Amino acid sequence: MKTIHLLFLMAVWTAGVVNAQTSPASGPVAGVETFLQKVAQSGYAGSVLVASEGRVLVDKGYGMADREAKRPQTAETVFSVGSITKQFTAAAILKLEEQGKLSVGDRLSKYLTGVPSGKDGITLHHLLTHGAGFPGAIGDDYDTVSTSGFLALAMSQPLLYEPGTGYEYSNVGYSLLGMVIEQVSGMGYEAFLRKHLFLPAGMTRTGYQAPGFSPGELAVGYRDGERWGTALDRPWAQEGPGWHLRANGGILSTAADMRRWYLALKNRTVLSDASIRKLWAPHRKEGAAPSFYGYGWVVEDIGGDTLIWHNGGNGVYNAYMGFVPTKDLLVVVSSNSNDQISDDIAMRIQALLSGGSPTLSDPEAARWTGTYALPSGAALRVRFDAYDRLQAEFDDPALLLLLSGDGTETPENTQAAAQRSLAIAEGIFRGDFAPLAQASGEPTEEVAQRAEPYWKQQQERRGAFVKATHIGTVSRRQGRFKLSTLRIDFVRQPLYMQYVWDGDQLFDRREYDALRKDMEYQGGGAFFAPANGLRARFEESAGKTTLVLEGPSVKGVVEALKR
C-alpha cells in the first residue's frame, strides 16, 4: 500500500495550558473527559494520554479494541504509532552520531552501495528532513521486500528535485536511514533502537517483534466499519516488517510508553542536549504549510511557543503525539478506525485545556439541527458532531463549489484534474489500473493487487458498478492542490470519491457516503471552515431560524431558511 500521510493537518493549538493543580474532576480537565465520552459514544475507540507539568491528567481507553470479541480499549492497549516511527529513526541516527560512527552531513553513498551518480549528493540530513527528492512510497507496507530488493528499487526511482532544494514527505527516505542504522551499527534496526533508546527510556512495550506482543494485546483496526485486523495479521519477516514499512512506520507501543519516550527526550536521558536541539530544529519548510520538518518531527510556531508533533496511519488506524516543551504539555491519542482521526481529537483536547474553545450547548444544537432551503431550492441537512462541528450534507452538485470552493476555480484551471480523476475511475470499471498507477507513481501490478480487493468489497456492499460522474473540482492553498469529487454509482448505493492532486501527482484519496461540508464552531452561533474561508452563522427571529453563508465562493450573502 502506498501510505500517504497528510502532514498538512495543521495543529490549531493555542498558547494556554491547564495548570498542573487542576482537579481531574473539575475545570478544563472535566471538559476534556466530557468530550472524550461524547466521541466514544459517536464511535471513537482508542487510547488517550494527557500530561501537564509532571501530572497525568487523562490516561484512559475508550470504545472497543476488538468489536467482535467485545474487548474494550484500555490505557495499556497496544497500537501502531504509524509514521511517529520516523522520529525514533532520527533519534537512532543522532545516537550513532554521538557515538562517533557517522555524521548527519555524510553522504548516503558512504554507507550504502549501489547509489548511482545522480543520487550521490544525497546526505543523511536530506533524508531526515524529506529533502532528498525521493517519492512518498514505492510499494505496499506489508510486502516483505529484502534489503537489496528495496535498495535497488529506491535507487531506480527518478528524484523529484535536486537534493536539498525541495520538500517531499517520503517513507522511502526513512527506510534508507534504517538501512544506514543497520549497516553502521552492525545490529538489526529494532535491536539497535531497543538497546540504545527504548530500554534506557524504560519502554518495554515498544517495538516490532521484540516485546513479544500477543494478538489480544493489540487494538484491531477497522476500515469503513469492516474488520481489518492488526499488524500481527500481516506478513512480517522475522526481524519485523519489510523495508516499505521498516524504519518509516509501523512500530507498536502504548500511550504510557510514548510518555516515557517524551520524558526521556525532555530529560536528555537517551540523547544529549546538542542532539535534541537538532531533533527539534525547524530544518525544512513543509512546502506551502505554515510549519517546518525537523528530524522526524513537525515543528510549528503557536503564538510564541513551539509545538512539536507528528501523526501517522495507514488508512485504517491512526495516531498522534504532540507536545509543547515550554509548557511541559503532552497529548498522545490513538484510534483504531479510519472514521475517527487522532489529530482531530488531540486538537480538540488542547483547545479545551487552553480554555479558548467555545462549546455548543445541547439546546443550541437541537434548535439548529434540521433541513435548510436555499434560494435555489437546494437543501442542506444540518447536524452537529461530538466536536461541535457543523456538518451540512447536500445532494445538489452545485453546492460543492459554493461550500467548498476558495474562489480561484475556473473551468480552465480545474479541467485537467477532473479529467485525470475520471480516467482513474473509468479505468477501474474496465479493470485497467494503469491511470491510477501512473498518478500514484507506482507499478501497475502493485496498484492492481491493492485496488482490486477494495473495489470488489465496494461492489459486495453497494452492488455492481454503474458509472462515474464528475461532481466538481475545487482549489486549495492558492491553487496548488485540486480536489476533484466523483460520484461513483453502484446498483444499491453511491460512493463519493475525492482525488486530491498536487499538479499531476495524486496526493491523496478520500471517500464519503454523502456530499458534506464541515465547519468549526467559533461561538455565538458562528462557524468557520479554515480550508476555504467559508463562514456561516445562525440567526433566529420571529420563530424562524436562518443559516447565513458567506465566503470566497459565495456571491454576496446566501440565506437558507430552516424548514
The pLDDT of 189-211, averaged and rounded, is 97
Residues 6+ apart with CB under 8 A from 431: 452
Do the Cβ atoms of 498 and 509 come closer than 8 Å? Answer: yes
Burial 11-29 (b: 16+ CB within 10 A, else e): bebeebbbeeebeeeebbb
State the DSSP H helix or E strand holding residue 50, giving kind and residue range, or none if neither: strand 46-52
Average pLDDT over residues 146-161: 95
Please list the residues that pair with 488 across neighbouring strands: 468, 495
The amino acid that residue 60 corresponds to is K
Report the C-alpha gap between 475 and 408 in whole angstroms: 7
Where does 81-201 show beta strands of DSSP type E?
A: none
Q: What is the pLDDT of residues 360-418, one digit of tens each?
A: 888 999 999 999 999 999 999 999 998 899 999 999 999 999 999 998 999 999 999 99
- In the predicted structure, residue 159 carries a pLDDT above the cut 80: yes
Give me the pLDDT at residue 9, please. Answer: 36
Give the 3-state secondary structure of residue 351.
Answer: helix
Strand, coil or helix: 563: coil
- The total of other beta-carbon atoms located within 10 Å of residue 165's CB is 11
Task: Give the list of residues 6+ apart from residue 277 with CB closer than 8 angstroms, or none.
Answer: none
> Residue 5's pLDDT band (boundaries 50, 70, 90)?
very low
Checking 407-415 for CB contacts under 8 A at 24+ apart, the result is: 407/532, 407/533, 407/551, 407/552, 407/553, 408/475, 408/478, 408/479, 408/552, 409/473, 409/474, 409/475, 409/553, 413/475, 413/479, 413/482, 414/473, 414/474, 414/475, 414/482, 414/484
Share of the chain above pLDDT 70, in %: 95
Q: Average pLDDT of 51-66?
A: 95
CB 464 within 8 A of CB 449: no
Q: Check whether 178 has a pLDDT greater than 90.
A: yes
Per-residue cell: 430: 474496465
Q: Which of 562, 480, 160, 86 is nearest to 313 (CA)?
A: 86
User: What is the amino acid identity at position 154?
Assistant: A
The gap from C-alpha 272 to its chain's centroid, in whole angstroms, comes to: 30
**CA-to-CA distance for 251 and 91, rounded, in angstroms?**
14
SS3 of residue 414 by DSSP: helix
pLDDT of residue 503: 87
Structural domains of the chain, ranges and CATH numbers in brackets: 362-395+516-562 (2.40.128), 411-513 (3.10.450)
Percentage of residues in the chain having pLDDT higher than 90: 77
Per the structure block, which three cell numbers stand in for 472? 466538481
- Check if the beta carbon of residue 486 is closer than 8 Å to that of residue 496: yes
pLDDT at 356: 66
61's grid cell: 481507553
Q: pTM for the complete prediction?
A: 0.83
For residue 17, pLDDT beyond 90 = no
In the chain, DSSP finds a helix count (H) and a strand count (E) of 14, 26
Q: What is the pLDDT of residue 77?
A: 98
